Chains A and B, each alone.
Chain A
Amino acid sequence: MTLLLQANTFSLFSVNDLRLIAPELILTMCGCIALVMEVILPYKKSKWTAYFALTGIALAAFSLVMLWSGNRDSLPLSGFYGMVRIDGFALLFKFIFLVAAALAIGIATRFLDIEGEQHGEYYALVLFATVGMMFLGSGYDLILLYISLELMALTFYVLVAFTKREKRSNEAAMKYFLLGAFSSGILLYGMSLLYGIAGSTNVGEIGQSVAAIVGSVKTAEAGDAIKGLRPMLLLGMIALAAGLFFKISAVPFHMWAPDAYEGAPTSVTAFLSTGSKAASFALYARIFISALGDMRADWAPLLGLVAAITIFVGNWGAVTQENSKRLLAYSSISNAGYLLLGLVAGNLYGYVGIFIYLLVYTLMNMGAFGIVISLRRRGIIGDNVDDMAGLAHKAPGMAAMMAIFMLSLGGLPLTGGFMGKYYLLLGLWQRGQVEGKASGKTWYYWLAGWAIINIVISFYYYLRFIKVMYLGDRIADDKPLSLSPALRTALAVSVLGIIIIGVYPQPIISFAQDLIRQWMH
């Protein structure tokens, strides 16, 4: 009897599969321990939970590196009956998520102290959200992708509502929750239609069915039955695209972003605008490239159009903003548009651009929000652009860092933001050349030109921060900034990362190229 039981468990999954999800297992474990620590530790020592969570992230990063270096030549690895797939794509995205989580914890300790909400659950929730993101990177089955998306989303609803005495936080959480759940419903409807087309929830098998349908439409000889599935396929594609537009805050479903970003605790806003966005892009790329890759001709124009409008609307909203969190929210909307260009490009440079830009974007947004946090203290919120007036006289170092973050967000050469935008546009340009020769389509060039015009416009509002900091004739207040070692470290790491990627990008780009090339073949 015992033997039979053992035989069954062994056939259920092989223990070897566990090493594929070792980083996630470590993070889950640390999250559970962090929850217990919150109960045991007195309030004044809650920060220990933060350091513990950082240790957990470091361990997970270590095991991720081991996973990569141990299987460098045997990628992609697949486990749990094809549910989990470790390929170059998954490894790169997991790296971004770990960086985002570590920085989010680094800038959160100070913020929660100021707010008087230093609870250990915060760090546990950040870890759980990170687990969800990491499974979004490596999931290869709609069921797993859905669960991990919801794991991430549910923890973010709680995080946005974390300062529960604050009305703005409540309201942001309500709006984010309603629209998030709504968009998950739409996404799920798309998934159900894909299941109906393929009869399987595996992304690879869906990809084969989609290829068969698209092929049958082209040849027009195959039986009518399979051709009749095309409308359903289109409906599913549109439902998936719409649900994901919500998640990445692209037009026309971007309206929740400014409210949620402004009302949420600033440290959560930073994590929401980087980690959650990167994870949603991982899901986008996984579904649209691996499952719907053969429908490119159908979805590329849709995504291109949405990208063009998103870039413009984000810029337009940011130009007139006075609140810096809201301004950064609009900037993150327009950045979602630039990132969509990488998917529209759909070639090596486009994907490298998505990776580099998401990484740099994580660093610079975390940094910018970190500076906003350092301006905050009890009673004074420090959320307005004008609160930075005279920062250059009061704290030259911080002002210089903020200037670097802003110039990088704009995309000035020699900063990381430039490299990301350069590769995204280069990929789009190459795709334009290929398509131009094949079918005479020129809209790729127009799209690239439109993006460049908007990059120039975006400098207007990024430079406004610098103008206020350096040329303001007054100092907002002369109290010292509220800094902590963790916040200082997070800021320093962000600045260093941006400068290194901007000045000497070769190692990281060739690293990303190798992994992505492996993934594309």
Chain B
Amino acid sequence: MEGPQLSWYLALSAILFTIGVVGVIIKRNVIAMFMCIELMLNAVNLTFVAFSSYFRDVTGQLFVFIVMTVAAAEAAVGLGIIITIFRNRESLDVDEASVLKL
């Protein structure tokens, strides 16, 4: 078979996913965390496309379209929330968002 094998794609998407997870955990800026979440979703998309072409089955690609659509909706809601926060406190650092504590 020509080109890279399925396992290569899976490994790449696993690496991308891990980078996203680590980014969400260590980043302290809301926008950067949000970008890392998008990276996770795109890693998942890569898995779906890789499996889809491996199985010669179109469902996986369909799922990718749905994930992308939902991610766009999520970005709209998320950025809306981020804007209300910025209006009220002029900072996007999650460590400073600490009105709610034990």
Tell me the A residues contacting B by CB distance below 8 Å: 142-143, 146-147, 150, 154, 157-158, 161, 164-165, 167-168, 170-175, 177-178, 181-182, 185-186, 188-189, 191-193, 195-196, 199-201, 258-259, 262-263
Contact = CB atoms under 8 A, between A and B. Distances in A.
- Most chain A CB within 10 A, of B41, B51, B77, B100, is at B100
Interface string B44-70: 100110010001010110110011001
B47 A174 contact: no
A181 B44 CA distance: 13
A157 B78 contact: yes
A188 B41 contact: yes
A195 B60 CA distance: 8
Contacts of B94: 174-175, 178
A171 B78 contact: no
A171 B99 CA distance: 8
Nearest to A153: B74
Contacts of B59: 143, 195, 200-201
B77 A157 contact: yes
A170 B87 CA distance: 10
B52 to A, nearest CB: 8
Nearest to B82: A174
Contacts of B60: 195
Interface of B is mostly: helix
A398 to B, nearest CB: 27
Contacts of A147: 66, 70
16 contacts: A157-B77, A158-B77, A167-B99, A168-B100, A173-B81, A174-B85, A174-B97, A175-B94, A177-B81, A185-B37, A188-B44, A195-B63, A196-B10, A199-B55, A258-B100, A262-B100
A195 B51 contact: yes
B79 to A, nearest CB: 10
B93 to A, nearest CB: 11
Contacts of B41: 185, 188
Contacts, number: 116
Contacts of A192: 44, 47-48, 51, 63
Contacts of A174: 30, 81-82, 85, 94, 97
Nearest to B76: A154
Given A147-B70, A174-B81, A182 B51 contact: no
A185 B85 contact: no
- Most chain B CB within 10 A, of A154, A185, A258, is at A185
B40 A182 contact: yes
Interface of B: 10, 17, 20-21, 24, 30, 33-34, 37, 40-41, 43-44, 47-48, 51, 55, 57, 59-60, 62-63, 66-67, 70, 73-74, 77-78, 80-82, 84-85, 88-89, 94, 97-100, 102
A172 B37 contact: no
Contacts of B43: 189
A339 B34 CA distance: 31
Nearest to B37: A181
Nearest to B85: A170
A226 to B, nearest CB: 15
A328 B79 CA distance: 29
Contacts of A161: 80-81, 84
A154 B73 contact: yes
A165 B89 CA distance: 11
Contact of B63 (A142, A158, A172, A175): A142
Contacts of B88: 165, 167, 170
The 4 closest A-B pairs by CB, nearest first: A185-B40, A192-B47, A196-B51, A259-B100
A193 B47 contact: yes
Contacts of B100: 168, 171-172, 175, 258-259, 262-263
Contacts of A150: 70, 73-74
A177 B24 contact: no
A177 B63 contact: no
Contacts of A185: 17, 20, 37, 40-41, 44
B97 to A, nearest CB: 5
A158 B55 CA distance: 38
Contacts of B66: 143, 146-147
A161 B97 CA distance: 14
Nearest to B48: A192
A177 B77 contact: yes
B101 to A, nearest CB: 8
